[in-house]
Structure 1
């Protein structure tokens, strides 16, 4: 099992006097998946995964050797992150595992994260930038596309709809379900059944094509990762 402090059963990371470990890894059965791959003689590495977000801090020690060349559609490079959100998401997906630092990333190892910067320093973006980000992710060979954006209604952008349709033919799309319980599931997963929707506060059903897969709560996952960033517990924070 990994020696990262955050992995369940290890020392944990203390924030404001409280010790935290990545209990969600056990709930999604990540250790069993890693063990299965290893039993088959394979190294646990993931498909190329694009993170459409606020950029990723390329100098973060726990992301060393994990990033592929990406692209920015904001005024600053994709390897910088003004809000810390994109770095937090990238860390949950792909923090280097078994390196005795910080967190254990779900995808364990490999240079497979593509930072696509579509969110600005205020946390905002546009449908045009999301469209550009989707196209850029496909151009870089992404097979998984994580979109940390959403809106409570269909924006009616034909170009975005076309980009989502095209991306869904060759990649698994993962999008935010929303941060509020009174607005329903956000677009695109509310409209597009080819997306997996990921809630930050309330459980919802994941969808791939037309088949419901499972329900899970992820608010504590992202919140904990961002807390690590603010407290500066890791050698370099997730923000």
Structure 2
């Protein structure tokens, strides 16, 4: 409950986040509308994400990207079983990591909300597919590593019975007991159907809004959703020093994980 209250305190009446912890560089603010809406420059006066490690459960993270160089520590691959998560064949994890901890040092100058935080990459699937058994193992590993923030920019089952009986639920409950903050994407189906793991009690379920604070047409919605954040036309890093713009609750989730 305390976690949800802390999240709620960051909202305006319309559901848009106001503040986020971020880094000292400001080069990318002008080309990232979300940073302006989140009043990043104001937040950076107080905190820059120092000392915080965010576990990114995704497709891996390209640790050599200029906007992420020095930000990514070796993690673990729970999908293929080998590797440390510091490469990304699909791009999704790299994009999410850049929104959390990008430094703005690359040619595209992508800044995250917490550029002095560190990223701990854990591979739990491929683009468009995230596996509950891999997420379960990754969550347990994050607990063992003492990580206090877990970003899950992915969805799983919408079947409440499967969700109830999933070992992932027990791993999440253990993480919450240890005061780990878990942030997960609400989903991109445009429905009110609960999407797990976001819909598990205690998880911060994130929906997406545009630059006007209006809900994205494809975002999940409903009383099980915790918070809204920027998720439309979001500029982010891609593997190989590239950049792209995308929309979704994944991007919104990354911004919330950086708060």
Same topology, TM > 0.5: yes
Structure 1 pair 204–23 and aligned structure 2 pair: CA distance change class (3 A)? farther
Where does residue 68 of structure 1 map in the other structure?
73
- TM-aligned CA deviation for residue 142 of structure 1: 1.2
Is 1:127 matched up with 2:137? no
| Whole-angstrom CA distance in 2 between matches of 1:158 and 1:23 | 38
1:237 equivalent in structure 2: 242
Instruction: Tell me how far apart the structure 2 counterparts of residues 53 and 180 of structure 1 sit (CA, whole Å).
Output: 19
Match of 2:110 in 1: 103
User: 2:29 maps to what in 1?
Assistant: 7
C-alpha contact (below 8 Å) 2:101/2:119 kept by paired residues: yes
Match of 1:24 in 2: 34
Per the alignment, residue 198 of structure 1 pairs with 206
SS in structure 2 opposite 1:193? coil
The CA deviation string for residues 145-188 of structure 1, in whole angstroms up to 9 with x for no partner, is 00122132332334211100011122111001001112534112
Does the aligned pair in 1 maintain the 2:190–2:220 contact within 8 Å? no
TM-score using structure 2 length: 0.69
Q: Unaligned 5+ residue runs, structure 1?
A: 9-20, 38-42
Q: Which moved more, 1:199-208 or 1:152-161?
A: 199-208
For 2:147 and 2:190, the matched residues in 1 are separated by 31
Aligned to 1:12: none
Give the structure, 1 or 2, with the largest relative contact order (CA under 8 Å, sep 6 or more): 2
3-state secondary structure, aligned to 1:137: helix
Aligned counterpart for 1:92 among listed residues 99, 108, 117? 99
Aligned-pair RMSD on alpha carbons? 2.8
Question: Does 2:172 align with 1:159?
Answer: no
2:187 is aligned to 178
Deviation at 1:36, TM superposition (A): 2.6
Aligned to 2:232: 219
Alpha-carbon distance in 1 for matches of 2:87, 2:45 = 34
State whether residues 101 and 115 of structure 2, in contact with CA within 8 Å, keep that contact through their aligned partners in structure 1. Answer: yes
Report the Cα distance in structure 1 between the residues aligned to 2:190 and 2:75, rounded to whole angstroms.
Answer: 33
Are residues 46 and 30 of structure 1, via their aligned partners in 2, closer, same or farther at CA, if it must alter by over 3 Å? Answer: farther
C-alpha distance in structure 2 between counterparts of 1:168 and 1:45, whole Å: 22
